[in-house]
Amino acid sequence: SGPQAAAMPVDKKLAIISPAHLQEQARKVMTPGAYAFITGATGDEWTLQENRRAFNDFPIRTHRLQGMAAKDVDLSIELLGHKLAYPIMVAPMGVHLFAHPQGEVATVAGAAAAGALYQSSGASYQPLEAIAKAGTGPKWFQLYFNADVGVTRSLLERAKAAGYTAIIITADALGPGASDAFKLLGMPFPPGLTFGNHDPLQGGTGNFRHQKVALTPDDIGFVKSVSGLPVIVKGLMRGVDADAAIRAGASAIQVSNHGGRQIDGVPGAISVLPEVVKAVKGRVPVIFDSGIRRGIDVLRALSLGAQAVAVGRPVLYGLALGGPSGVQSVMEQLRDELQLAMLLAGAGSVRQLDGSFVKA
């Protein structure tokens, strides 16, 4: 104990009982501002609620007498050239400083320890190079386009040089997305917050706020040709948009409504997954995020045709409560829950999960 011990950033494994308990424990260690920023969504938070409720529209159909034990369940996948131990990754989220003094450097270390792919936000507190160095596992870089095309180019070149293996274009981050609760508190960003990728000392230009939001399919080709990396388009909620993105060169689609943080009133993300999967017609992998909290949620998304899922807020709750080891605990808990869910549903591998495991 003593003042020095208290200042040490937390790093401990968590016993996770339930998503609600994890969130409640995290609330107790966060400032009200941090909690409002991370937990909240836009408007009345109807979409935030739908992201959870809509999973119930797809009850699970178990398959019995499959002669399986837990050890027979194979969670591994191949995705854009990576062999992953299980199909659950960390979604890109800005400003991890809200949850932990070391920010993303702590999160990425926890993801790597858990064997989970890390999607790194362009709005990180730490610069992308420091994040890449701290995380030995597979990593993708999520790009926020800059109004200055030279800044965008430089971000792509830096991401490639740092070892990121794909670029995520977030197509739905057109507005500020702050929750009413965060606004009511006066939008209290953490003291000392900078956006690491734009720090002039790190080769950035300091002008993160000049985001280019008016994106078209042509931007996909631009990112692909500048980076030479596969491009994932995140934030699509319509089949026609997925089709347009693929025709423009996208290597994967990430179905997402940004965890309800952009426009309220859109359906729960899982509700539109079947439409997008149908439009994609197996041309590229589909990744799903927004509302994943339990192993059975992952099972349902995979059964509806996603190849992998990403998880947002629970990772930051784990980060706040346990630092790198807390993040690791969150990811391993989801992995273990998925394994159990598959055993209980009667699916021996993720390739076996198909529409017969859910009832629309």
Stretch that binds ligand FNR, among 219-227, 299-307, 310-318, 329-337 (CB under 6 A): 310-318
Distance CA 82, CA 355 (A): 25
Residue pair 257/171 in contact by the 8 Å Cβ criterion: no
Burial of 174 (0-12, 13-18, 19+ CB in 10 A): middle
Q: Which of residues 128-147 bind ligand FNR (CB under 6 A)?
A: 142
- Residue count at the site for ligand FNR (CB under 6 A)? 23
Stretch that binds ligand FNR, among 105-113, 146-154, 159-167, 305-313 (CB under 6 A): 305-313
Please report how close the Cβ of residue 42 comes to ligand FNR at its closest, in angstroms: 12
Is 258 among the catalytic positions?
A: yes
Q: Which residue is nearest to ligand FNR (CB)?
A: 312
Indicate the residue among 288 and 352 with the shorter CB distance to ligand FNR.
288
Closest CA to 97 of 330, 323, 290, 326: 323
Residue pair 63/357 in contact by the 8 Å Cβ criterion: yes
Stretch that binds ligand FNR, among 152-160, 200-208, 271-279, 289-297 (CB under 6 A): 289-297
Indicate the residue among 73 and 310 with the shorter CB distance to ligand FNR.
310
Residue pair 126/106 in contact by the 8 Å Cβ criterion: no
Closest CA to 26 of 233, 260, 319, 339: 319
Indicate the residue among 39 and 328 with the shorter CB distance to ligand FNR.
39
Indicate the residue among 170 and 329 with the shorter CB distance to ligand FNR.
170
Q: Does 276 bind ligand FNR (CB under 6 A)?
A: no
Distance CA 286, CA 301 (A): 10
Q: Does 312 bind ligand FNR (CB under 6 A)?
A: yes
Indicate the residue among 73 and 319 with the shorter CB distance to ligand FNR.
319
* β-strand pairing of 167-170 with 139-143: parallel
Indicate the residue among 51 and 303 with the shorter CB distance to ligand FNR.
51
Q: Does 19 bind ligand FNR (CB under 6 A)?
A: no
Cβ count near 83 (within 10 Å): 9
Residue 286: C-alpha distances to residues 20, 98, 189, 236 (Å): 28, 30, 33, 11
In the set 100, 198, 224, 234, which binds ligand FNR (CB under 6 A)?
A: 234
**DSSP string of 312-332, one letter each residue:** -HHHHHHHHHHHHHHHHHHHH
Closest CA to 321 of 333, 309, 310: 333
What's the distance, Cα to Cα, between the start and end of the chain in Å?
Answer: 54
Q: Which of residues 166-225 bind ligand FNR (CB under 6 A)?
A: 170, 173
Q: Which of residues 72-131 bind ligand FNR (CB under 6 A)?
A: 91-94, 121, 123
Q: Provide the CB-side half-sphere exposure for 307 (13 A, CA).
A: 19
Q: Does 38 bind ligand FNR (CB under 6 A)?
A: yes
Question: Which residues lie near ligand FNR (CB under 6 A)?
Answer: 38, 51, 91-94, 121, 123, 142, 170, 173, 234, 256, 258-259, 261, 289-292, 311-313
Q: Give the catalytic positions in this structure.
A: 258
